[in-house]
Amino acid sequence: MLRAKKRKTRKILFRMILFFLLLLFLILGIRSWIEPTVEERLSYQSRVLVTAAINQTVAEELERLGVTYHQMIHLTRDGTGRITALQADTVLLNQIKSAITEQVGERLQELSSHRLSIPLGSLTGLKILSGRGPSVSFRLLPESVVMTNLYHEFTQAGVNQTLHRVYLQIDMEISAVIPGFSMRTQVSTNMELGQTVIVGEVPEFFGSIGIGGAADGA
C-alpha cells in the first residue's frame, strides 16, 4: 500500500516536472520567435521618435540663431562676378555646431524622463495589427554623448549650375526599454544648415569641414 502510494507520488511529481519543462521550452520558443520582430519594430519606432525630436530641435535652434548660408560661407568673385572660391567661417560654424549639440542633448534627456507608448500590434510586424491593441509603455535612454560633424557637398543642379549645401550630421546611441526587454540602437540624421546655387564652374572650397559626410574633426 505504502509502495503504491510512493509510486503514485513519483508519477505525479514526474508529470509536474515534465509539464513545467514543456512550458519553459514553449515560453523560450515563443520568445525566440517574437524577440527579433519586437527588436526590429522597437528599434524602428525609437529611431523615428528620436529623429523627429532631433529635427525639431535643430530647426528651432537654427531659427533662434537666425544664421544664413552667406554668413556661414563667404563667396569670392572675380571681375566678371563669377564665384571663384568659397570660404567657410569655421568659427561661426563651430558655434552653431556646439549650440545645436547642447540643445539636442538636453532634448534627449527631457525625452528620457517621460514614458512613451506604442500599440502592442505595432510590435508584431504585421500590417493588419499595426496601431491596434493595448499600449505598451517604454522609455528611451541615451547611451552615448551626442556626436556632431559638419560637412558640405556639391551636386549638379542643372545646366552649368551647381548646388552647394552645408550639413550637420548627428549620431548617438540610445536604449529602448520595455518590461522584460531592452535593446540598443544607433540613430543618425543629417540636417541641412544652408545652401546656394552656383552658376559656372565649381569653385575651390576652403575651410576645415568634411566633404560628402566626412568628419570635420573639429
In a domain, 218, yes or no: no
In a domain, 158, yes or no: yes
What is the pTM assigned to this prediction?
Answer: 0.70
CA distance 59 to 79: 37
Q: How many domains does the chain have?
A: 1
Give the model's pLDDT for residue 182. 76
In a domain, 178, yes or no: yes
In a domain, 181, yes or no: yes
The 3-state secondary structure of the chain reads CHHHHHHHHHHHHHHHHHHHHHHHHHHHHHHHHHHHHHHHHHHHHHHHHHHHHHHHHHHHHHHHHCCCHHHHEEEEECCCCCEEEEEECHHHHHHHHHHHHHHHHHHHHHHHCCCEEEEHHHHCCCHHHCCCCCEEEEEEEECCCCEEEEEEEEEEEECCEEEEEEEEEEEEEEEEEECCEEEEEEEEEEEEEEEEEEECCCCEEECCCEECCCCCCC
Give the model's pLDDT for residue 175. 86
- What is the average per-residue pLDDT within 92-121? 85
Q: Judging by beta carbons within 10 Å of its beta carbon (0-12, 13-18, 19+), is residue 5 exposed, middle or buried?
A: exposed
In a domain, 69, yes or no: yes
Give the model's pLDDT for residue 98. 92
Cα-flanking dihedrals φ and ψ of residue 54, to 5°? -65, -50
Give the model's pLDDT for residue 15. 66
Question: Pairing relation of β-strands 83-88 and 73-77?
Answer: antiparallel
Q: How confident is the model at residue 74 (pLDDT cuts 50, 70, 90)?
A: very high
Task: Select the more confidently predicted residue: 19 or 71.
Answer: 71
Give the model's pLDDT for residue 10. 67
Residue 165 pLDDT > 90, yes or no?
Answer: yes
Residue 84 pLDDT > 80, yes or no?
Answer: yes
In a domain, 217, yes or no: no
Task: Select the more confidently predicted residue: 56 or 3.
Answer: 56
Residue 96 is part of which domain span? Answer: 2-211
Q: Judging by beta carbons within 10 Å of its beta carbon (0-12, 13-18, 19+), is residue 131 exposed, middle or buried?
A: exposed
Give the model's pLDDT for residue 109. 87
- CB atoms closer than 10 angstroms to residue 195: 16
Residue 176 pLDDT > 80, yes or no?
Answer: yes
Task: Select the more confidently predicted residue: 33 or 147.
Answer: 147
In a domain, 137, yes or no: yes
What are 193-213's pLDDT values in tens digits? 999 998 888 888 887 776 554
In a domain, 216, yes or no: no
